[in-house]
Amino acid sequence: MPTTLENAKSLRQNMTDAEQKLWYQLRAKRFSGFKFRRQVPIGNYIVDFVCKKSKVIVEVDGSQHQQQKSYDKTRTQFLKQQGFTVLRFWNNEVLNEMDGVLEKILDTLSLGPSPSKGEGRNTGKV
């Protein structure tokens, strides 16, 4: 059974088109100086992108997430309990509305870290 770290490495090597396109914008501190990491284990979960300093997680969801709403809700609750804000975007939003996606991420980053553990914001889908 692969470990969480092995799964994260595999996910980094097999990113979707939408994830690759967003990663291009977020990587190397080129997004307003914020440092993001990709496919990062947090607890038993692997998040698509995280800015640990601002405690913001960005998830890019494909159609499979329509069938796993309960799992995603549990996962988001756990991440919020760790103090993270979780932003979720559909693949087509990233591919077709990148400016709006980046604006929403920047707005959330500008708010700073969540007030305290367990009070993370979940903005839902844009």
Say how far apart CA 23 and CA 70 lie, in whole Å.
27
* Extents of the domains making up the chain: 4-125
Predicted confidence (pLDDT) per residue in 78-116, tens digit = 999 999 999 999 999 999 999 999 999 999 998 765 544
- Record the pTM: 0.77
Continuous H helices in 1-126: 4-13, 17-26, 69-81, 91-96, 98-110
Q: Which CATH class is domain 4-125?
A: alpha beta
Predicted confidence (pLDDT) per residue in 3-24, tens digit = 665 555 555 566 788 999 999 9
